[in-house]
Structure 1
Amino acid sequence: MSDPNKGLFFMRFGSIFTTSAGILTSRIFGFVRDLLTASILGANLWSDIFFVAFKLPNLFRRIFAEGAFVQSFMPTFIVSRHRSVFAAAILLRFSFFLLAVSLLVTLFAPLVTKLVAIGFDEATVAAAAPLVAINFYYLDLIFLVTFLSALLQYKEHFATTAFATTLLNIAMISALLLFRHEPPQTIVYALSWSVLAGGILQLLVHLWMVRKKGLQRVILGGFAYLKRKKGAIDEDIRRFSRAFFPSVMGNSTAQLSSFIDTWLASFLASGAISYLFYANRLFQLPLALFATAASTALFPSISKLLKQEKREKAKGHTKKVFWLLVGLLGGASMVAWILSAEIVALLFERGAFKAADTANTASVLAMYIVGLLPFGLAKLFSLWLYASHRQAEAAKIAAKSLGVNILLSLLFIAPLQAPGLALASSLSGWVLLFLSVRAVGTPLFFDIMRSKHALSALLFILLSAAAAWGIKALVHGYL
């Protein structure tokens, strides 16, 4: 007789790899976008200005899309007796709030720009402020996308969200190609408007899939009964609110670390922000491809299993995914650390992006890679905290990790420059992992460590390192 649990687990792996395939497709287009950006804009004042303008909405996009909203919304949605009404209430509250914030950013764009890049002089702030205002409206669009993706994830449909980010990259690639012969100022304005165009395309494809899955009834039904049953969801709203704000902090450590890097790098020489951006893009690829994909696909089932008090089944799923991530992230770390200069040169060194830019970006990438494994594994362990409604505890852990990052950044920025900021971020990732494991419980961690999959994961890491050294030797003529 077939084991239904085994079949369910393979379905979960199918969701992981579907999500990974979507993320990989998006990141391939993203690298094409970055390649064109590096070639057309290079690493200079105008590229720094655009990356600052895009940094704030992109920060919130990653926080929303990669956990905070879904990990707060999903457990409450699952247990709510009036799911449609609860969903409609959350949609309205967030939409009005974010629109109001976007309008304020538009009105006070120079002040917001100065806060994001405090090291910019007045002329640079004036040039960047309109771009900050334009780009920020992407956040309104991406919230709607994230809300719809949460409903699709409840139905365990992940492909649309995974592949949809490709549309943003296609829009930005189109802008770069159409305006490649224009002055840099015109190019960054075209890029900014293309960000909004990409957000609209993502929203449209999610609306189409929601209708295809019949989920529009959840939203429309919720609006129809919202006034009548508003009091019935008060406890659901409170439960969501208690979970959401800690979840924002708990999910944002890597993103806030990158944001702090940009903030501090504005004090460094021109191009430093761009080096951090290009290196962080490479760092985020395996993190999103493996860790984010795994946590996104695993979270609905972990939430349901823990709600049903099926802890052993949840632990079994976690154990297998843990060693899968150790192997994949460990192998990716070896390859990226050994071949950092070769990877950056292959992807970016052309046009306005020179050999010196390659060397600077590679040194930053090598420091970021130190934190790949801990940031990825911390995502996995944090699932248990969020699924158990322990968001506040996750937030405290993230705050401690972020504090370590800020302290180390201040210590490292003078002697090590931009690579020091990346190293501070990576070391804070190890603090995040240690504290997350301790919160979930060391017995669970040691049980996970005792697995037949451990040897396979370690062997894969060693083979990856050997292959990377072999490639490096061939490239430089040592073999």
Structure 2
Amino acid sequence: MGRQGTTQRRGSGASGGLHASVFSGAVRVALGTGLVFGAGFLKEIQVAASFGLSAGLDLYLLVLAVVVLGSGLLSGAFQISFVPAWSEAAARGEERQSLLSAAVTMALTAGGAFWITVVAALPAVLPLLSSSMAQSGAGETRQLAFILGALLVISPVNGLAHGVLQSERRFFLSSLLPACSHLAAFTALYLAGKEATVSLLALAVVAGLALETAALATLLARRGLRLLPGRFSGARERRLLSHASRLAVASVFMSLTILVDRGMAAVLGEGSVAALSYGDRVPNLFRGLGSVALATAVLPFYSEQAAVQDWQGARRILNRFSLLALAAGVPITIISVVFSREIIQLLFMRGEFGASDAALVASVQAAYLFQVPFNLAAAVSMRLLAALGRTGTIARATATALALNVAGNLVLMQFFGVVGIAWSTSIVNLFIFVATQVLARRVLAEEHPAGPGSADAAAHMDEPPAGLGD
């Protein structure tokens, strides 16, 4: 009896230490991400001072929006799929430099293909979207696409390096390094003064990202790792590529949700798209800090538990941090909804932005805020599915969410206008939360019933985690 009680106390202590580590990691990610947001705001102030509302800045922002969308898809997909593979290789005692080098090769290849596509397509596509873009000329568009397109190649490689750092619990440093790009752009524009151009801004952004790459390569070199391409071969590399592809598809569906909302809002009349954009600023800040922090912190721990088949530990993290996300998100949502109009008035009500505009945007913001706690908790369950290799499940869930979002927009916008579109998005996020929570628990309960240290788990220690074959 005494030995059993001692074992239980040790297990409880280990679990408590693990939860403290995850929470500490989330706090460090949130702090680093907040500082990056601050650096980005500093850059935006200088951009506004250098270019105002010029046509050249419009062109730059349009090209950047396309590039950032693509680089974000690639970087996120490779990083999220790489961390579980990295942890699996560590648990099995395999050499990991070859895995990193193969992943770098895949990232460079995918990014290069996107880069060529962007340079070739944007000069023809942008004039179709805006008549003012046609006046800019294909040459200037192609030049910006060529410069900024480098982000498509650099960002996925950086994502892999960040995955290594996060696996070693270097959360704050990893989340802080993206500030390099913002600070480089601010410095270049400040020094250039009145001679600043959008091409200089684009070059500075790329140079800042390359500086981040150099810092990451230095940090990896201290660990005996090289951030260089290598041979692509073997089942684990093919599995990594498969999971990255599925996660990229899932990200596309999530990104299309935003585009669909903006497109459907456009038919509701002047100012509807702007109302959606303004109304999502504060909710997006909460989602950006909270979801990124939780998702980044839990993934390495989930990956290590999947590698050693510690399903009970994974279940404890899922339960504890899903509840923590809801417990933190609900009060934030309630308070923000109560003071929604005051928040909008403080942030935007000046000049042409009047009281009626504030009332509409406040209603949009309140509807968007409803999704915050569910978005935070869904980040916890989606990372568990990713760590278990259930990337196909994530892609199907996001595809379903996109279809539900379109249907919800069509119905709710008839009754509530642009506010209905915001409510549809929040309801879809509730669906994603419920779906991913149910699916994650079903995987743990049905496919991985064995607890840590059991005979069944020990018998499969030499096999890759079952979920990685999905």
TM-score range, shorter chain: 0.7 to 0.9
From 18, 22, 32, give the equivalent of 1:12: 22
Matches of 1:48 and 1:415, distance apart in 2: 34
Which deviates further from its counterpart, 260-269 or 321-330? 260-269
Residue in 1 that maps onto 2:238 = 238
Q: In the alignment, is residue 83 of structure 1 matched against residue 93 of structure 2?
A: no
SS of residue in 2 equivalent to 1:219: coil
Residue 286 of structure 1 and its aligned partner are, at CA, apart by 1.3
Distance 1:112 1:257, change over 3 A: same
Distance 1:50 1:346, change over 3 A: farther
From 22, 29, 35, give the equivalent of 1:25: 35
Which deviates further from its counterpart, 37-46 or 144-153? 37-46
Output aligned runs, 1:1-400, within 5 Å. Answer: 3-31=13-41, 52-65=62-75, 67-80=76-89, 81-113=94-126, 120-124=129-133, 127=136, 130=140, 133=145, 135-170=148-183, 190=198, 193-194=200-201, 196-214=203-221, 217-219=224-226, 223=229, 226=230, 233-251=233-251, 254-265=254-265, 272-350=272-350, 358-400=358-400
Contact 1:171 1:197 in 2 (8 A): yes
Distance 1:141 1:321, change over 3 A: same
Which deviates further from its counterpart, 412-421 or 18-27? 412-421
Distance 1:197 1:260, change over 3 A: farther
Distance 1:285 1:420, change over 3 A: same
Q: Which structure has the greater CA radius of gyration?
A: 2
SS of residue in 2 equivalent to 1:6: helix
Amino acid at match of 1:406: V
Which deviates further from its counterpart, 78-87 or 42-51? 42-51
Distance 1:444 1:216, change over 3 A: closer
Matches of 2:101 and 2:316, distance apart in 1: 35
1:381-435 deviation digits (Å, cap 9, x = unpaired): 1122111111111111111011111233344557655444333322221221222
Distance 1:161 1:265, change over 3 A: farther
TM-score, normalising length: structure 2 = 0.76
Matches of 1:34 and 1:352, distance apart in 2: 21
Which deviates further from its counterpart, 360-369 or 18-27? 360-369
Which deviates further from its counterpart, 251-260 or 375-384? 251-260
1:152-175 deviation digits (Å, cap 9, x = unpaired): 122221222312333444456568
TM-score, normalising length: structure 1 = 0.75
Structure 1 residues not aligned, in runs of 5+? 446-479
Matches of 2:280 and 2:192, distance apart in 1: 25
Amino acid at match of 1:429: N
Amino acid at match of 1:11: S
Distance 1:199 1:276, change over 3 A: farther
1:41-78 deviation digits (Å, cap 9, x = unpaired): 9999998766544332333344445x422221122233
SS of residue in 2 equivalent to 1:218: coil
Which deviates further from its counterpart, 155-164 or 201-210? 201-210
1:434-465 deviation digits (Å, cap 9, x = unpaired): 221221236989xxxxxxxxxxxxxxxxxxxx
Matches of 2:151 and 2:73, distance apart in 1: 14
Matches of 2:441 and 2:330, distance apart in 1: 23
Amino acid at match of 2:319: K
Distance 1:121 1:5, change over 3 A: closer
Distance 1:40 1:209, change over 3 A: closer
SS of residue in 1 equivalent to 2:170: coil
Distance 1:142 1:365, change over 3 A: farther
Matches of 1:156 and 1:380, distance apart in 2: 17
Residue 246 of structure 1 and its aligned partner are, at CA, apart by 1.6
Which deviates further from its counterpart, 82-91 or 45-54? 45-54
Which deviates further from its counterpart, 105-114 or 85-94? 105-114
SS of residue in 1 equivalent to 2:169: coil
Distance 1:201 1:36, change over 3 A: closer
Matches of 1:392 and 1:127, distance apart in 2: 42
Distance 1:442 1:47, change over 3 A: farther
Residue in 1 that maps onto 2:402 = 402
Number of residue-to-residue matches in the alignment:
427
CA-based RMSD of the aligned residues comes to 3.9
Which deviates further from its counterpart, 292-301 or 365-374? 365-374
Matches of 1:85 and 1:163, distance apart in 2: 27
1:1-52 deviation digits (Å, cap 9, x = unpaired): 9734433332222211110101122233445566788899999999876654
SS of residue in 2 equivalent to 1:441: helix
Matches of 1:350 and 1:193, distance apart in 2: 32
Residue 121 of structure 1 and its aligned partner are, at CA, apart by 4.4
Contact 2:413 2:421 in 1 (8 A): yes
Percent identical pairs in the alignment equals: 20
1:312-345 deviation digits (Å, cap 9, x = unpaired): 2222222222222112222222233232332233
Matches of 1:349 and 1:436, distance apart in 2: 39
Structure 2 residues not aligned, in runs of 5+? 1-8, 446-470
Contact 2:265 2:418 in 1 (8 A): yes
Matches of 1:282 and 1:38, distance apart in 2: 21
Amino acid at match of 1:310: D
Which deviates further from its counterpart, 201-210 or 261-270? 261-270
Output aligned runs, 1:385-464, within 5 Å. Answer: 385-412=385-412, 418-441=418-441
